[in-house]
Amino acid sequence: MDNAGIEEMFQGLGPVTVKRMFGGKGIYHMGRIVAVEVRDEMLLKADETSAPEFAAAGATQWAYEGKKGKPVKMPYWSIPDEAYDDPDLMAKWVRLAYEAALRAE
């Protein structure tokens, strides 16, 4: 996804900064990371407060295989499919990601 597309996706939150990282991109709002793009997939930050809402909407948590073959779960979740066609719904999910970023401090 190009930076203009990312900025449009996050317009319900406000201005974002996109930085290259880990072979992907980190998306920041007001200095806090709210999402990552990994292998052409946008993943939103979540925590123990918001993760159940992501799971209930059918989102999946990002995990990678650790050194001993066990999955390592990261605090990022896929975006529910219906949000891609609904700017108001997308705004809800990106705000949840920002709230999780605020709680992470």
- For 32, the 3-state DSSP assignment is strand
CA distance 41 to 49: 23
CATH among 3.90.850.10, 3.30.1460.30, 3.40.50.10440, 1.20.1370.20 for 3-103? 3.30.1460.30
Best CA proximity match to 54, nearest among 18, 19, 83, 25:
83
**Residue whose pair of structure tokens reads 């992501």 in the numeric block:** 54
pTM metric for this prediction: 0.92
CA distance 52 to 11: 24
Q: What is the pLDDT of residues 55-103, one digit of tens each?
A: 999 999 999 999 899 999 999 999 999 999 999 999 999 999 999 999 9
Best CA proximity match to 29, nearest among 102, 88, 103:
102
Report domain extents, the chain: 3-103
Q: What is the pLDDT of residues 1-53, one digit of tens each?
A: 889 999 999 999 999 999 998 789 999 999 999 999 998 899 999 999 999 99
